[in-house]
Structure formats: C-alpha cells, structure tokens
Amino acid sequence: MTLDLSLVTDYISHGTGLVVLNPATNRVITTVKEYDAASVESAVIDSERAFKQWSHLTAKGRAELLQKWYGLILENAEGLAQIITAECGKPLAEARGEVAYGASFIEWFAEEGKRMYGDVIPSPLAGKKIIVQKQPIGVISAITPWNFPIAMITRKVAPALAAGCTAVVKPAETTPLSALALEALALEAGIPKGVMKIIPTTDPVSVGKVLTEHPVIKKFSFTGSTPVGKLLMKQCAGTVKKVSLELGGNAPFIVFNDANIDKAVEGALISKYRNAGQTCVCANRFYVQADVYDEFISKFTKAVSGFTVGNGAEEGTIVGPLIDEAAVEKVEGLVSLAKEQGANVALGGARHNACGNFYSPTILTDIHHSNAIAQAEIFGPVAPVFKFDAEEEAVQMANDTPYGLAAYFYTQDLGRSFRIMQALEYGMVGVNEGIISTEVAPFGGVKESGVGREGSRYGLDEYTEIKYCLLGGLS
Ligand SMILES: NC(=O)c1ccc[n+]([C@@H]2O[C@H](COP(=O)([O-])OP(=O)(O)OC[C@H]3O[C@@H](n4cnc5c(N)ncnc54)[C@H](O)[C@@H]3O)[C@@H](O)[C@H]2O)c1
Ligand SMILES: O=C[C@H](O)CS(=O)(=O)O
C-alpha cells in the first residue's frame, strides 16, 4: 500500500528535519520541517495575535468552522487512518476507530461551546447585580503522546477552540504526520492561520520550556507519562499556568467468581491488547477469584493464541508493533524479571519471530501481586494474571498503586457492583465493560494519573476562566 502524504505535502522537509519512521519496518516514511525554541516563540506570538480575532467570533461562528473541520476529517478518514498506522503502528482497523473517536471531540465541543453558560446570582445587596461569566483563558499550549496521535490532540484542541482559545501543540517526535494532517484540514475548513499550530521538533526539552514558561501562554495541557508530567507541571509554576495532566495508568481488571466468564474474557481481550497494550487505560494486571481462575486462564489463553501479529497495514492484523526498540526492551525486561520471580509463561513471553519491534501477546500465571510487574505500567501486550480469594483482598491489591486512571471489574452481583465502584481509587471504572472511552464522558485520573478531565461537559472548563462582576449604582 502506497502511503498518501498529500495532506502533509506543505510540511515535508526536503533536507534536514524530523525523520518519521514506520515502527513495523523501521523504514523512513518522510522528514518534516521542525521548530526550535526561537521559532516556537514566534508561533506563540502568532497564536496570541490570532486569539484577538478568534475569541471575538460568536460561539456559533466558531462552531460552524469546527463542524467544517469535523466534516473534512471524516471525508479524509481513510487517508488519516493509514497515516496513523504508518507512523504509530496500530492496526488499520484501530486507526480508523481513532479517527472517528478523535473527530467526535470536535463534533461534541462545537456544540458545547455554544453552552458556555454563566450565572446571574440573586443579590443580597439592594440595587446591586451579581453576574458570573465564563471567558476563554487565552493562548493554550499542549504536548501530546504518540499512541493516539490524532485523538490526544483533538481531545484538547476541540474544547480549547470552542471556548475561544488558540492552541500551540507539540506532538510526539515519532508521530508528527497525523498532527500536521489535522492542521492542514483545519486551515482548509477556514479556521484562521495561527488558531491551531502544530510544532514538530527533535528538541522537546527546549520547545517544552517555551510551552510551559512563556508568559503569553495561560494554560498548559499534557498527555504522557507521569514522570514527564511532573516535570512539566513544575515548569508551569513560574507563570502560574492553569494545568491539566493526563498521565500514566496501571489498570486492574478484576474477575469475581460470579462473573460471566465469556464476557470477562471478551473485555480482557480488547482492554489488554488494543494498540498492542500501548494505551493508558489498558488492563495492566488481572485479578481473578480462585473458583474461576482456571476457567478464565483457559478461555483467555485460547482466545489470545488466535491473534495475528504483524504490520498494522495488513488487513487481519490484531497486534501490531510496539513503537520502538526501547519499548520492546522494556517489555522484555519486565517479563524476564517476572519469570525470575516465579511467573509461569502460559502464552508468548518473547519477541514475535524474534524480530523487529514485535512482541508476542503474552499471558503470565502463577504470579504474586508483590512481583515488580504489578507496579509497572507495562505498555505492551503482556497480561499478568493474579489469583485472589476474598473481595477485600482484590480491592486492596487493585488500589495498591500510585496510579488511578482506569479500573475494570466483572460481576453479576448488584450489591458488589456498588461496593466495588465506591471502593476503587480511580477516575474511571468499567463494570462488565473492557473499553469505556467516549467523548461524552469525563476522561481523567486521580492520584498520579493526572489532574482535570477531557471530553464531556466538564472538558470545556479546562479552557475557561470564571469572571464575577458586581454591578452597583443601579437603584
Ligand atoms: N492519561 C491519558 O489520557 C494518556 C493518554 C495517552 C498516553 N498516556 C501516557 O503516556 C505515556 C506514553 O506516551 P509517551 O511515551 O509519548 O510519553 P512521554 O511522557 O515520554 O512523552 C509524551 C510527550 O512528552 C514529550 N516530552 C517528553 N519529555 C519531555 C520534556 N522533558 N519536555 C517537554 N516535552 C517532553 C514527548 O516528546 C511527547 O510529545 C504512558 O505513560 C501513557 O500511560 C496517558
Ligand atoms: O491511551 C490513551 C487514550 O486516552 C486511550 S483511549 O483511546 O482514550 O481509550
């Protein structure tokens, strides 16, 4: 399949720049023009200039342009999906899903922007009026990861633009093409130049300093690992920026004795192996109650053994490559340590065909919660399955992590459902469901998985400021 790069022609560098590789083949896709700290400063000033006009459009006016952008993304969905697969590695079917998911935030916030309501508060003071209004916070910056190169950008930029803000966005070094295609389509939709600017770079540290320290930037939104999120949050402190963070996860997936095991296996497959296990909400550790442990392992192993591993561009591929060699080495290290600590490899446990960035879908059993792998965000197609006896033990182990993004459990007992929903220390919980992300619900974590929420009616608040006005002298 010849990759169509016509959407990003204007961004391709015919000399030096940011080299983009295909993780399935490690071959060069293309090279794109890149930004350094100085040119990012200039982009920030352009964004400030664009803000003056964009924020003065009506919400309806902005919505019409966002809806045009949404329409163009859907019209170019297949081309965008092929770009995602080429630079990120995920199977084409998943990439198509990501385009629709990413576009859904634009559709959703085009409407939400028209409902950025304020308040008129009954005044306790005679002759005085109390008015509360929401205003766009201003120029925002964002830094995004490689695993959802379109959706992680639109989940930030859509609410920002709908609220009247402008955005300067640094995508991951490995996946700039999807981001640049988004920018090209936004310009084609009539969204003015400078309203959304993508800034690829081979120097994330210097560019990141501009995006977290520049005084013109009033809000910073980050999606990525927890260690980097902590660093960038500190960098924002000097100018007291409003910050939202979508960070790492360590999702427990609990299966109780009374669960529908076939449904639990179905949920486990999608939750664990989506994007080869490289999602922040992937089930990261499985806790299965003793009476159903053997049945779950048998059915889970049988289903995973049928997965096709390969290039995501080939129809039928279920598990594509990891993003790079470092990612494979990290997974290899975690599996090796688990085996040293007594784990049994029920399936996989090594590179696929011992080549490239491919790792075989893996299931580990006879493993204890104290093993290191229970505390690490695996970010690969590896499922450690722990056995437990009592409900309280499962909850204690599930909560025994600094992370708090997503959690999942399967039961058919209503009382247990409410007990466990209440007891789990996570921002998002799937009950008898292995995939929970949607634009209408608040996505985000607690503890060291993040601050703030994306999507839903709450997502707009991240990009607004509340202004309270007291009107006197009206008697
Ligand atoms: N909570 C969520 O919604 C969510 C979504 C996707 C990914 N993630 C998390 O992201 C991680 C995987 O993505 P990743 O490997 O791209 O994460 P990462 O933190 O290594 O990189 C994320 C982004 O930060 C940039 N970056 C890294 N160091 C920087 C620095 N010092 N200054 C400025 N920018 C810097 C990178 O270039 C990239 O654009 C996982 O931990 C995953 O859980 C979370
Ligand atoms: O990995 C990060 C994404 O947020 C996962 S999802 O597509 O939103 O479920």
Average per-residue pLDDT in the chain?
Answer: 97
Q: How many domains does the chain have?
A: 2
What is the 225 CA–ligand 1 centroid distance (Å)? 4
Q: What is the pLDDT of residues 2-48, one digit of tens each?
A: 899 999 999 999 889 999 999 999 999 999 999 999 999 999 999 99
Identify whether residues 125 and 184 lie together within a single domain: yes
What ligand is nearest to the CA atom of residue 323?
1
Q: What are the structure tokens assigned to 309, written together?
A: 């591993």
Same-domain pairing of 308 and 412: yes
For 363-404, how does the pLDDT look when each residue is reduced to its tens digit (9 = 90+)? 999 999 989 999 999 999 999 999 999 999 999 999 999 999
Residue nearest to ligand 1 atom 26, measured at CA? 204
CATH number, domain at 290? 3.40.309.10
* ipTM of the complex, rounded to two decimals: 0.97
Element (H, E) at 464: strand 464-471
Same domain assignment for residues 41 and 120? yes
Domain identity same for 48 and 153: yes
Minimal-distance CA residue to ligand 1 atom 38: 172
- Provide residues with CB under 6 Å of ligand 2: 147-148, 151, 279-281, 437
Residues 83 and 197 in one domain: yes
Q: HSE (CB half, 13 Å, CA atoms) of 141?
A: 28
Residue 475 lies in a domain: no
User: Do 464 and 332 fall into the same domain?
Assistant: no
Whether pLDDT at 356 is above 90: no
Question: Is 1 a member of any domain?
Answer: no
Determine, yes or no, domain membership for 444: no
- CATH number, position 75: 3.40.605.10
In a domain, 116, yes or no: yes
pLDDT in the model for residue 474: 76
Say whether both 289 and 434 belong to one domain: yes
Q: Is pLDDT at 1 greater than 70 in this prediction?
A: no
236 domain residue, yes or no: yes
pLDDT average, residue stretch 235-261: 98
Same-domain status, 329 and 239: no
Residues 276 and 402 both lie in one domain: yes
pLDDT over 80 at 475, yes or no: no
pLDDT single digits (tens) 88-113: 999 999 999 999 999 999 999 999 99
443: in domain: no
CA 37 to ligand 2 center in whole angstroms:
29
Pair 81, 172 in one domain: yes
Residue 331: CB partners within 8 Å, gap ≥ 6? 322, 359, 378, 379, 380, 381, 382
How many Cα neighbours within 13 Å face the side chain of 457? 4
Q: What is the pLDDT of residues 143-155, one digit of tens each?
A: 999 999 999 999 9
Structural domain includes residue 304: yes
Does residue 45 have its Cβ closer than 6 Å to ligand 1? Answer: no
Does residue 465 form part of some domain?
yes
376 and 465 belong to one structural domain: no
> For residue 122, what are its two tokens?
């009954």
User: Could you report the per-residue pLDDT of 168-222, keeping only the tens digit for each?
Assistant: 999 999 999 999 999 999 999 999 999 999 999 999 999 999 999 999 999 999 9
Residue 429: domain span: 251-438
Identity at 116, one-letter amino acid code:
M
pLDDT of residue 52: 97
- Tell whether 40 and 55 lie within a shared domain: yes
